[in-house]
Amino acid sequence: MQRGGGVLLHISSLPGPFGIGVLGEEAVAFAKQLKSQGMKYWQVLPLSYPGVGDSPYQSFSAFAGNWLFIDPRRLMKRGLLNADDVVKAEFNENKWRVNYDFLRIDREQLLRKAYANADKKLLAQVDEFLKTNKWADDVAMYQAAKDKFYQRAWWQWDDQDLIDYKPEAVAKLRKEDNYRFHGFVQYLFIEEWTEIRRQINECGIKIIGDMPMYVSGDSADVWAGRELFKMATEAQKKEVRKEWIKENPDKDPDKDYEDIVFACGAGVPPDYFSEDGQLWGNPIYDWKKHKATGYAWWMERLNENFKLYDILRIDHFRAFSSYWEVPAGAKTAKTGKWVDGPKMDFFKVFDKTFGDRSRLIAEDLGEITPDLGEFLDEVKLPRMKIMQFAFNPNDNSSYLPHNYEPNCVAYTGTHDNNTLLGWLWEANENERNECLKYCNFEGSNWGDGGVKSKSCRAIIRTLWMSGANTVIIPLQDMLGYGGDTRMNIPGTANGNWVVRFSKEDLESIDNDWYRELNRLYRR
């Protein structure tokens, strides 16, 4: 990657009148602001629709876009809404938090109105889009069925033929108007994002996207392609049910127990973020089946992501080397085990398909096992460095800026970390003092926040001085905001992914300071 600086800010966190950031004028204005600061990169989180806990990493599809990001104003310009519709879509109850419960209902109603106003030409384009994109076809059928069965998980639907993805049953879904509506929504998202991305690129800003390693169990991906995942056998179902009955003697298994669907789930062992590890629960890929298909599903997924982003960060990249597999029914991730992933065999197919790996970033955080170190050296992708992990006084950590090799992407912190100011307040005294000394901060006001926070600026400057080709800071650190603006706390189920910023927040940033920082350190 070209030497340069950038900012991490999800689309949902942009300012604007609609209760969540959208693909509109605010996104383009932010790109122009980044350009004025001398930045080269804007990193976003997955553009997928949020699922469990409002997480964009737990979506109903690895391909589908988040229709909450569609800008009502742009729909009005297309003749799909009128001015009154746009005004009614405004939601300014709290401009610093996203209210997903409200938006899920309100935006769907708005989009159904837009759909009712679509002309024959647009609908014909939607139909062609559905015919030529299997993922869109599966998403539209899946969403139509979810609506039919009151949003229950696909294995709980009242039609066994639909559960089993029988051709005759799914073909009936394609005849429903609701199927076309969900295709219409995805078509709009792709069109709107393509245009906004073009304008962002014209500002000289490249977009770094984020692709989750795993997919949600209740997703169009698993429903339509369960042969690619490790599904529970009848023997496993009986064993887990037997254990559940032992542990719950006062409950009626016929009423209170539901059979497992997957043989195992994804997670990570105990680490910096969680002493019990993290039990994500996502289904595990059957890599033997993927290999037999030439990793066709993955190549299609990557191809679609390359249409969305200039550069792609693959979350939990280490799972290509080995992954933490937790047996079905486990209460925590502690009972998991390491299992080999596809390793370089996958990337040999990737190279044949896409030519080179220059558009990829490997998220390699967490426990570095010996096999992972060898694999990362072989795959030769930019790896991630996090300053907040660096300052154990007794360790010459690879996260210290003087140890950064050029081929890496370095951060003050990511969406999973505390903000820089929040970290300073919560770090133990030895680590905080080590950080402040390392970054040449002098004085006693290290806890002061704001856009001109001297401690935050000292740390950011130190990051910019490093040899890392690419350096990224969350917008929260630009603003010098505390832990109350943290995006996500790993291992917690609620209250995450909701942070937003106002127009006034963005206007308060000292653009000149960052422009000089980028000039001075040749970024």
- Check: CB of residue 456 under 8 Å from CB of residue 421: yes
Which residue from 407, 451, 413, 468 is spatially nearest to 435, judged by alpha carbons?
Answer: 413
What are the extents of the domains in the chain?
A: 213-380
pLDDT for the residue numbered 373: 86
Contact 52/44 with Cβ under 8 angstroms? no
Print the SS3 string covering 66-100: CHHHCCHHHHHHCCCCCHHHHHHHCCCCCCCECCH
Can 259 be counted among the known catalytic residues?
Answer: no
Please write the tens of the pLDDT for every residue from 42-89. Answer: 999 999 999 999 999 999 999 999 999 999 999 999 999 999 999 999
pLDDT value for 273 = 67
Instruction: Kindly name the residue from 210, 315, 364, 434 that is annotated as catalytic.
Output: 315
Residue 367 pLDDT: 73
Read off the amino acid at residue 176: E
pTM, entire model: 0.96
Active-site position among 71, 138, 192, 416: 416
pLDDT at 276: 87
Q: Which residues pair with 313 in a beta bridge?
A: 210, 361
Distances (CA, A) of 143 to 56, 165, 167, 227, 447: 17, 13, 17, 20, 48
Helix/strand/coil for 238: helix
Whether 315 is catalytic: yes
Q: Which pLDDT score is estimated for 271?
A: 77
Q: Which residues, given as ranges, of the chain have pLDDT below 50?
A: none
Residue 93 has a pLDDT of 82
The active-site residue out of 363, 364, 434, 505 is 363
